[in-house]
Amino acid sequence: MKKILSVLITLCLLVPASYGQDDEIRPKALGVSFYLNDFLSAQRIRNSSLSQVFSDKGFAKLREMSPGLAITYFKGIRKHVDIAASIGGAFLRYPMPNKSFSGNSLLLEANAAVNLKMTTEKYWVQPYIILGVGGHKYRSYYGAFMPLGLGLKVNILDEAHLFITSTYRVPVTTETANYHFQHSIGIAGRLGKKKEPKIIEPPKPPPDTDGDGIIDSLDKCPTVPGLAKYEGCPIPDTDKDGINDEEDKCPTVPGLARYQGCPIPDTDKDGINDEEDKCPTVPGLARYQGCPIPDTDGDGVNDEEDRCVTIPGPKENFGCPVISEEVKKRVNLAAKNILFVTGSAKLQKSSFKGLDDVVRIMTENPGMSLAIDGHTDNVGKDDYNQTLSDNRAASVKTYLVSKGIDESRISATGHGETTPIADNKTAAGRQKNRRSELTLSYYK
């Protein structure tokens, strides 16, 4: 493994500069950076999913990451391709698969990468994709990985630039390497002097008396400015609309080229010509092909601002009906009386009266939607509580659907023990935390 790392770094350092000096190609540079290793977020994503980690806000905090320092060498080999080689170190307890370590030790890493840039060096900001290989040494163990991610280079001065990277490190040697993220920020300086551009004196232009860009020897009107298509003479344009009379179907009335020199027909004066206007006699907007903004439910709130396009409601409630306090109380009462058989998702019969009232409310208001949220206390394992809350929320939904409510109007979500409303250290608190919440809304 040591030999492989040495060869990778040597190849990056010895790439021949056979492409010549180019201002759009990154010059050689050496940088130093601070980085953070994040093993916890990667583990949570692999244990569940990226969307679940986003939903649970489960990404690791800064204090849960391990800091380190690195030195990086950069060199451009194409306008959109750079290579980079870095060596870094961090003191941490490495979560090596099937092994356990006590205390922190030095994690020494080296990697080589190709940076595929979206812009060239002539731009201040250069985002790029990172594809690489690397290896590490931790105590007596060696491992290999592939860093894959994104980077951003920001030119500060001609001699220095800031770089920010975020990579996901995929293990190659799965016995001695683990999945993790590495986020870094650093600054790099140019190696060597910038090549000064050669200044070539432009040749003296031939004479052009009227200054129209056509030299006198080719200009049939050398003292009057004109255009090349008229051999240096002015455009014959009676109505001064920029379209010469030979091509202008309305030579005495100013118009536009797309109408062959005639004015735009626009009956309703909304700036959309009649050929493209589906409401040519009523002023409208371009995105509605010349028609006014529609108001499907006729409640005075146009569809672009109406959150309930097909159900009338006041403007103050974004075009949706207002749910009365009485209805909210009925739903909250039904939620408080939702009870399950201990340790299961089976509804107790005492729950049915309140849920039947919710069915009546939703039947009387077909535009309403319902969100069901299930919660547990912290007794038992996290996974068990999550599954139990999922199943209990689904059980409530199944009951409502069985009573004729379309399942597309109902969402059911379990939150496990993640959102307590009381102290789980007391029996009363745990009882409050074992709850179901019902929320009505018209918003989609």
Give me the tens of pLDDT residue by residue for the chain, a chain 444 residues long. 444 444 343 333 333 333 334 578 888 999 999 999 999 999 998 888 888 888 888 898 989 899 999 999 999 999 999 999 999 999 999 999 988 888 899 999 999 999 999 998 888 899 999 999 999 999 999 999 999 999 999 988 778 899 999 999 999 999 999 999 999 999 998 887 766 667 777 877 788 777 777 887 777 788 788 778 777 788 777 888 888 877 878 888 887 888 888 887 878 887 888 778 788 877 877 887 878 888 777 878 887 777 888 788 888 888 888 888 999 999 999 999 999 998 899 999 999 999 999 999 999 999 899 999 999 999 989 999 999 999 999 999 999 999 999 999 999 999 999 999 999 999 889 889 899 999 999 865
Query: Sign of the C-alpha dihedral, residues 410, 416, 421, 422?
Result: positive
Give 272's strand partners. Answer: none
Assigned architecture for domain 325-441: 2-Layer Sandwich (3.30)
Question: Strand pairing of 369-374 and 410-414?
Answer: parallel
Task: Give the SS3 label for residue 329.
Answer: helix
Q: Which two tokens stand for residue 28?
A: 């050689």
405 vs 436: CA distance, rounded Å: 19
Q: Which two tokens stand for residue 436?
A: 């179901």
Buried b (16+ CB within 10 A) or exposed e, 323-342: beeebeebbeebbebbebee
Task: Give the SS3 label for residue 261.
Answer: coil
**Nearest CA-CA partner of 220 in 210, 240, 242:** 210
Question: What is the model's pLDDT at position 203?
Answer: 79
Question: Strand pairing of 125-138 and 105-117?
Answer: antiparallel
Decide: 107 and 90 in contact? Cβ < 8 Å.
yes
Question: Which stretches of 172-317 are assigned E, i.e. beta strand?
Answer: 180-190
Residue with tokens 């949706």: 320
Which residue ranges make up each domain of the chain?
Answer: 2-190, 325-441
119 vs 82: CA distance, rounded Å: 11
255 vs 234: CA distance, rounded Å: 19
**Nearest CA-CA partner of 385 in 339, 433, 417:** 417
Task: Give the SS3 label for residue 160.
Answer: strand
**Nearest CA-CA partner of 238 in 250, 228, 230:** 250
CA distances from 412 to 301, 336, 339, 346, 373 (A): 30, 17, 16, 15, 6
DSSP string, 358-403: HHHHHHH-TT-EEEEEE---SSS-HHHHHHHHHHHHHHHHHHHHHT
280 vs 330: CA distance, rounded Å: 51
CA distances from 287 to 69, 163, 297 (A): 53, 41, 20
**Nearest CA-CA partner of 38 in 184, 186, 185, 142:** 184
Residue with tokens 């599954």: 387
Task: Give the SS3 label for residue 430.
Answer: helix
φ/ψ of residue 385, rounded to 5: -65, -40
Q: Which two tokens stand for residue 115?
A: 């940076």
| CA 151 distance to own-chain centroid | 15
Residue with tokens 């290999």: 144
Decide: 372 and 415 in contact? Cβ < 8 Å.
no
CATH of region 2-190, choose from 2.40.160.20, 3.30.2350.10, 3.40.250.10, 1.10.3720.10: 2.40.160.20
